[in-house]
Amino acid sequence: MDGGTTAKIRVAIFAPNPLTRAGLAQCLDQQQHIQTTFEDAEVLVVAMETAEAATLESLRGLRPNATTPLLLVVQNRWHADIATAVELGVRAILWHRQFSTIAFAQAIRAVGGGGGFLPASLQGALMEQVQRTYRDVLAPQDMTASGVTNRETDVLRLVSEGFDLEEIAQKLHFSERTIKNILYKFMKRFDLNNRTHAVAYAIRAGLI
């Protein structure tokens, strides 16, 4: 390092009782790059007895904004939909029976850095749900998980590579009118001004 200081990850802790909260906070006291706080948190830690639909729904009221990630410390078995948990902002889960100060700090650092920290069993369940959703819901409608059709992705990729509409139509075996309609529907759906704007949006969103 060049002598500069590393910014601390600000963590807020929510627990069903003061004793649990104090115990979790104490685990972080010696962590140089983590700071507990009551506001402006970058990571929210939530301790709960059981993860189920009702308890997950209560998480909505805890997040100060839609981008604050959650780390759950769960005492009992998982009884919730993992995809719903992810949609609610859950990025890490620690089982109470396997909890350790080291794992706790690792999970916070992972989430604070934009990553995740899920038990292997829940990772598998999430991947199975994604595969099932794509196979049964999205694929029959030519849609991807991002809400964009495969046609749109192909057209935008070719536009980004500098092909004009006639060339794209020939490559994809569509009429030029169809290519224009595909682009128009995409731009209208995401409120984009022109093709350049559409390509820039697709690149930022990781679509192409």
Taking the domain 142-204, which CATH number applies? 1.10.10.10
* Structure confidence by residue, pLDDT tens digits, 68-112: 999 999 988 888 888 888 888 999 999 988 899 999 999 999 999
Q: What is the DSSP string of the chain?
A: --SPPPPPEEEEEE-SSHHHHHHHHHHTTT-TTEEE-SSS-SEEEEEES-B-HHHHHGGGGT-SSTT--EEEEESS-B-S-HHHHHHTTEEEEEEGGG--HHHHHHHHHHHHTT--B--HHHHHHHHHHHHHHIIIIIGGGTB-TTS-BHHHHHHHHHHHTT--HHHHHHHHT--HHHHHHHHHHHHHHTT--SHHHHHHHHHHTT--
- Give the CA distances from residue 26 to residues 29, 33, 161, in Å, rounded to whole numbers and listed in that order: 5, 14, 54
Residue ranges of the chain assigned to CATH 3.40.50.2300: 9-131
Residue ranges of the chain assigned to CATH 1.10.10.10: 142-204
9-131: what fold? Rossmann fold (3.40.50)
Contact of 152 with 158, CB cutoff 8 Å = no
CA distance 182 to 177: 9
**Site of tokens 């794992």:** 103
CA distance 175 to 153: 17
- Residue range 126-137: average pLDDT? 79
Name the more confident of 2 and 161: 161
* Structure confidence by residue, pLDDT tens digits, 162-203: 999 999 999 999 999 999 999 999 999 899 999 999 999 999
The pTM of this model reads 0.68
Contact of 62 with 88, CB cutoff 8 Å = no
